[in-house]
Each structure stands twice: as C-alpha cells, then as structure tokens.
Chain A
Amino acid sequence: KAGVTQTPRYLIKTRGQQVTLSCSPISGHRSVSWYQQTPGQGLQFLFEYFSETQRNKGNFPGRFSGRQFSNSRSEMNVSTLELGDSALYLCASSDGTTPWGDTQYFGPGTRLTVL
C-alpha cells in the first residue's frame, strides 16, 4: 500500500496570509490526525478527523481548522498566519475503527515558513 502523502512539501507564506495543507491517508484508513512540530514546543496534536467529522481537538487557536472529505483525504487550514506558525506539519493516518486504538502512520510532513 502507498503511504501517507502530504502536499505541498514546502511552503513559504507571509504574515497575515492563509494556507491550506493536504493529506492523503493510507488506503482504507479513515482517521487522519494532524500534528505541529516546532523546535521549541516539540510535537503537538492539532486535531483528528474520522468519517468527515472532527472527533478530537488539541489546544490551538481557532485560526487552525481542518476538514475531511468522503475519500478520507484531509485538509488543514491556517488563517491569518503568524511568525510562530512556522513549523513542520505532520499528518498521520490510522484505521480509526478498532475500539482500543491503533497505530498512527505518518506522512513526510509539510514545512511551512512564515516570513
């Protein structure tokens, strides 16, 4: 099976702009989670989508939002970009249906730089 793919791999934006990142999960996986990785804060959970519904959310401002489509592909949007949003954004997919949790598999990430 193909792995998790993320596009674009690199992105440069300026403060105040908005950005949309895309993630395609492993075929058959219905859960997509997003994480932000920065040198200072490490890896932090943003949100999780399953069957087009957000079912878990981390502690990030409302400028960070996401959605999931019927084919399980997910997009993450950040509005009004700030310098501190510069980070590696990682997407992870999992089956999402087993009652006791399952393993998350990560994509290569999107490196966002805000100038």
Chain B
Amino acid sequence: AQTVTQSQPEMSVQEAETVTLSCTYDTSESDYYLFWYKQPPSRQMILVIRQEAYKQQNATENRFSVNFQKAAKSFSLKISDSQLGDAAMYFCAYRSALNYGGSQGNLIFGKGTKLSVKP
C-alpha cells in the first residue's frame, strides 16, 4: 500500500521569505500523480500544485514550485516570497495512475504541515 509522510508537523516563515515543506512517499508503482493541497482555517481544500511522475520537469505555479526526486520518492514544496495568506495546513497527496476497475484511484494524504507566516 502507498503511504505519504510529512515529517514537519509545523513550520514558520517570515513574510517575504522562502520556505520548503517536505514530503516523502512510498510506492511500488512507476506511474502516479503527486499533489500539494492547502487548507486554510476556512477548511476549504485548495489545490496548490500537481506533478505527474513521468515528467522530469518540476511543476511551478507562480510562487509555488516543487522539487520532485522520483528515485528518492521525495516531493517538497517551495513557497517563495511568503505572504500572510499562505498561512494554512499543507497536505501532500499521492494518486495512482493505474486504473482499477474503472476507478482512477483515490488520494492518499500525508498528515499535513501547519505553516505560520510571521509579519
């Protein structure tokens, strides 16, 4: 079974600085997707960034970028120029690319990292 581990329960960053959130995963599959979701206090889960395992190029979305190391099974999220609105729980998630009986597979989440942004 696949597992996702986020080893940093809490992190803090100064406004305008850069922070990196860690995520490792365990799988025997070669094709899969990785995601970072953000959950602010409102509890709405918001997609931050997505990475396809077959792509070597790291995904980037504005101030958010990932460092995807497939061999090491590592998928870290870098937030540049941190803003107060970035304060939230961040979840790393894995999704198989295999098709089981028509299902595209569910998301497997890590426990999350709570990010605080100091003004």
Chain A interface residues (CB < 8 Å from chain B): 31, 33, 35, 42-43, 45, 48, 50, 55-56, 58, 88, 90, 92, 94, 96, 98-109, 111
B108 closest partner in A (C-beta): A45
A-B complex: 7 closest residue pairs judged by Cβ atoms: A106-B45, A56-B103, A45-B106, A43-B109, A101-B104, A55-B103, A108-B44
Shortest distance from the beta carbon of A52 to any chain B beta carbon, whole Å: 13
Please determine whether B44 and A102 come into contact, CB atoms closer than 8 angstroms. no
Please determine whether A33 and B106 come into contact, CB atoms closer than 8 angstroms. yes
Please determine whether A99 and B103 come into contact, CB atoms closer than 8 angstroms. no
Across-interface contacts of A92 in B (CB, < 8 A): 45, 107
A55 to B103, CA, bound (A): 6
Interface Cβ pair total, 8 Å cutoff: 63
B105 closest partner in A (C-beta): A101
* Cross-chain pairs A/B with CB under 8 angstroms, 9 sampled: A42-B111, A45-B107, A48-B103, A55-B103, A56-B101, A56-B103, A92-B107, A102-B104, A106-B45
A31 touching B112 in the complex, CB below 8 Å, given contacts A88-B43, A101-B95, A106-B44: no
Please determine whether B104 and A35 come into contact, CB atoms closer than 8 angstroms. no
Please determine whether A48 and B106 come into contact, CB atoms closer than 8 angstroms. yes
Please determine whether A43 and B99 come into contact, CB atoms closer than 8 angstroms. no
A103 touching B102 in the complex, CB below 8 Å, given contacts A108-B42, A108-B44: no
